[in-house]
A and B are shown apart, each in its own frame.
Chain A
Amino acid sequence: MDRRKVEEGIFRVLMVLATGLILSSLVMILLTVLVKGLPYLSLEMVTQTPRGGYYLGKGGGILNAIIGSLYLAGGATLLAILFSLPVALYLNVYSRPDARFVSVCRLAFDVLNGVPSIVFGAFGFTLMIYFGLRASLLGGIIAIALLILPMLIRAMDEVIRLVPRELMDASYALGATRWETALRVVTRQALPGILTAVLIAFGRGIGDAAAVIFTAGFTDAVPTSLLRPAATLPLAIFFQLGVPVPEVQGRAYASALILTLLILIISVAARRLSRRLTRHVVK
């Protein structure tokens, strides 16, 4: 009797400790980046491109990488939406829910979702060679689009699956086709969830480094064409860290702070936006 209570108590303490440890790792990471990065953060960092000698400690900023990352993740997200929304709609509106095809596809997307970004990078690289493309904004967009495609499909699939069957029936009962129902009713009802998924995918696209290391290249200029190389924030951090000059390393921390803030803002926006867009959604 007593032993049972002791065991219960011990495990309860362990569980709370484990949870605390996991949460404190998050806090620690955020605090470290903040404390180390803040002293080096300046307006110059976010408004200027690297000037001559930037990587030796001279002036300039990482505007090239910020813009590059936004272009790259934005382009990749748009591209991935074009593919993922039709797929999610097909699985939930056009297919019968019990179809074997649907579960096989879901499995395929789950598995694809587990593929690491370095492999997407390598595959994107072979694609680029095949099509005779050099490391460029376009190459990076393709690699990142491939990377976020499975997570977008699965996330959209999950929200579209929650659209009540009766809502679709109500539209069919008026003589609407599946296409019309998918476009005007299902997408609309699922819109908040879809947008959340899109924003999260966008964040993931900004943060990823391994998939763009082969495919996007790096440059100190703000990209002006899809076929030119583009800098990205994660790689900018990586390269600055590799320079044994304290000033440059400090700016790497500041860049990490910028990247983290960007991601946090996006994830908060994802929650906010989805709440605001529920105006028309039927409960």
Chain B
Amino acid sequence: MENRAHIRVEGLNVHFGSEHVLKDISLSIPDRKITAIIGPSGCGKTTLLRSFNRLIDSSEGVRVSGRVMVDDENILDARAEVTHIRRKMGLLLQRPYPLPMSIYDNVAYGPRIHGIRDRRRLDEIVERFLSKASLWDEVRQRLSQPASVLSLGQQQRLCLARGLAVEPEIILGDEPTSALDPQSSQRIEQTFTELKSDYTIVIVTHILRQARRLADHVIFLYLGELIEQGPAWDFFNNPKQPMTREYIKGLIS
């Protein structure tokens, strides 16, 4: 079980109009580990992440080819059912985007969509996942207030709880701490480490130190190409590619 790949990407190419944004990417993301996708901004990290749950479909003028295997199902297959794929993956964006409803309804939104109506079960779900995202104690008294009253850091944890509530197996985070203050970032990071025994976590980050702190596995992209991937310890202490060495050094100094 140790090294089972949860997501396997094979020959993925993404074009936006005439721009070739991801070039023949092949990689695998291990199960129940934290994987960090790193690289300078504009290199295609977000694009890669969004192709995992096919949110990329909604971009303008996009063309995608290759295979993305999740649990041995090619999700890029035209016949694949997107809502079912997306449900398997929670998503955290750079900035928290709470839905325009109450704190409670934000967490209950997903379960309700997927058919849970029973109030008591919903109550239980809301409490469980708010706790998992370590937000419960802060909001238990004001569940019916609009989500927009929370601080940014709280909102991001709410978005995490909202994603967890549809019981995904994978959590995708696109620089999930970049809009937050250091303290809130730390809480999110801490929550990730707690969650990794149950979930496969993939985060995009351009903060090298964050990748060092969190990641078990690292993927390094540069200008749309995959430069290097591997276990975090090897990646940081014994990089194989000269480019990786440069990048690590460059950001450290």
Contacts and interface: CB of A to CB of B under 8 A. Distances in A.
Direct contact of A and B (CB under 8 A): yes
A172 B58 CA distance: 10
Interface string B61-85: 1000000000000000000001110
Contacts of A191: 100
Nearest to A93: B58
Interface of A is mostly: helix
Nearest to A170: B97
B102 interface: yes
A38 interface: no
Nearest to A168: B58
B199 interface: no
Given A166-B95, A185-B99, A282-B99, A177 B90 contact: no
Nearest to B90: A173
Given A170-B91, A174-B113, A177-B83, A282 B58 contact: no
Given A173-B55, A173-B163, A167 B99 contact: yes
Contacts of A184: 99, 101, 109, 113
B91 A169 contact: yes
A47 B214 CA distance: 74
B219 to A, nearest CB: 20
Contacts of A8: none
A5 interface: no
Contacts of A180: 113
Given A185-B100, A282-B99, A166 B93 contact: yes
A280 B102 contact: yes
A283 B148 CA distance: 8
Given A98-B61, A166-B95, 17 more contacts: A96-B60, A168-B58, A169-B93, A170-B99, A171-B99, A173-B91, A174-B87, A174-B162, A174-B163, A175-B114, A176-B83, A176-B113, A177-B83, A184-B101, A191-B100, A280-B102, A280-B148
Contacts of A166: 93, 95, 97
B83 A175 contact: yes
A279 interface: yes
Interface in A256-283: 279-283
26 contacts: A96-B58, A97-B60, A164-B97, A165-B58, A166-B93, A170-B93, A171-B99, A172-B83, A174-B90, A174-B109, A174-B163, A175-B84, A175-B114, A176-B83, A176-B109, A177-B83, A184-B101, A185-B100, A188-B101, A279-B146, A280-B101, A280-B146, A281-B148, A282-B98, A282-B99, A282-B147
A189 interface: yes
A97 B172 CA distance: 25
A185 B90 CA distance: 17
Main secondary structure of the interface of B (DSSP, over half): mixed
Contact of A170 (B58, B84, B146, B159): B159
A165 B46 CA distance: 15
A184 B109 CA distance: 9
Nearest to B109: A174
Nearest to A177: B83
Contacts of B99: 167, 170-171, 184-185, 188, 282
Contacts of B84: 175
B58 A171 contact: no
B35 interface: no
Interface string A145-175: 0000000000000000000111111111111
A121 to B, nearest CB: 39
A44 B99 CA distance: 50
A175 B87 contact: yes
A163 to B, nearest CB: 9
Q: Which of A169, A177, A188 has the most CB of B within 10 A?
A: A169
Given A98-B60, A174-B87, A175-B113, A169 B148 contact: no
Nearest to B145: A279
Contact of A167 (B55, B86, B97): B97
A177 B82 CA distance: 9
A173 B53 contact: yes
B109 A169 contact: no
Interface string A178-210: 001000110011010000000000000000000
- Among B87, B109, B147, B162, the one with the most A-chain Cβ atoms within 10 Å of its Cβ is B109
